[in-house]
Amino acid sequence: MHVDVNSVYGLIPPPGATYGSSESAPRYFEVQNVPPGVNFTFRAWMLLPTDMEANGTANMRVEMQSVLAPDIVFINETQSEFLAEQYRPENVEEDSAWQRFEIVASIIWNTFSGLAITIIVCLVGAFGLHRAFSYRKQKDEEWLAKQPKVEESEKPEDWLGKFAKGASDTGQAVVGAVVEAPKVAARVFTDLFTSKSKKRGEERERPSEDLLDAANVVLEHHEGERELERLDDIAGGLLDRGDPHPANIALPPSEQVAGRTVRKPKRVPAAKRKSAAKGKATTAVAVGIETPDLEPEDSQAASTPVRKDEDDELDLDL
């Protein structure tokens, strides 16, 4: 027998059983010479603990086996819940009226605390705004009291009334009254106007024609220099660019010769071209006449080299 809590427990063995201790409750017993088919009953008991700090469950385990078949074990488990010391009925006191009120108040506060806080914040804010407006109104009144009084501007009804009053004093009609303006001589008016107006400044002398021409030449010279500098900058920018213009791709590439001279084909005069063309056009006829071999009259003439045509030229392009 085994119990997993600190408590008093034991077995009640059947008559004729042998067990260990006789002073305390036995934890085991043996029954011998039990014939087959005979039933007997025994009991197990346990006192639930009363001094525990928390609620729990007590588990009582009883194991039984036969000497003839020790491999077969019969197990019986019993569970029972127990209460802690403070929750036992004899130790629980009834709540007083004040405690019940506190419980109800806590429930109400937990349920409506958000709404109550919102209402309180709104009331405090409204009171603060009221005090702020009252203070601002008081300060505005004090500031207006310190300011000097400003007379109201004259309204159209006021000056129309004065005009009607003046017309009635002169004995003229109120509507369409005409008042004569004071008369001043023309010369006096001109003198007064001239004296009050600003004097006209003296005109500057116009430069001479020679000075204007010289200034024009200098101006054109500087403008020309600026234009040349601008063109040089544009040309330098074009030369600095490494990418060829797209239009130059269609042109044939230029042939570069490493030598200093370039030989051109020989030019043939127009007279020779015409004679060659005529010679090709005529038909040669053989008449059977043999031309005798002519000896050169002079050996010097024979050794004289043949002169090249004056039209044969050597063109050298350096």
- 19 within domain boundaries: yes
Q: What is the pLDDT of residue 238?
A: 72
**Domain assignment of residue 8, given as a range:** 2-87
- Asked if residue 14 is part of any domain, the answer here is yes
What ranges make up the beta strands (E) of 181-315? 262-263
pLDDT band at 166 (very low <50, low <70, confident <90, very high): low
What's the rounded Cα separation, in Å, for the pair 287 and 275? 23
> 209 lies in a domain?
no
Helix-then-strand count for the chain, H and E: 6, 9
Least confident of 16-25, 100-109, 224-233, 273-282: 273-282
Contacts of 34 (CB under 8 A, 6+ apart): 40
Say if 166 falls within a structural domain. Answer: no
Residue 39 lies in a domain: yes
pTM of this prediction exceeds 0.85: no
Please, are residues 19 and 11 in contact by the beta-carbon 8 Å criterion?
Answer: yes
Give the model's pLDDT for residue 48.
Answer: 87
Overall number of domains in the chain: 1
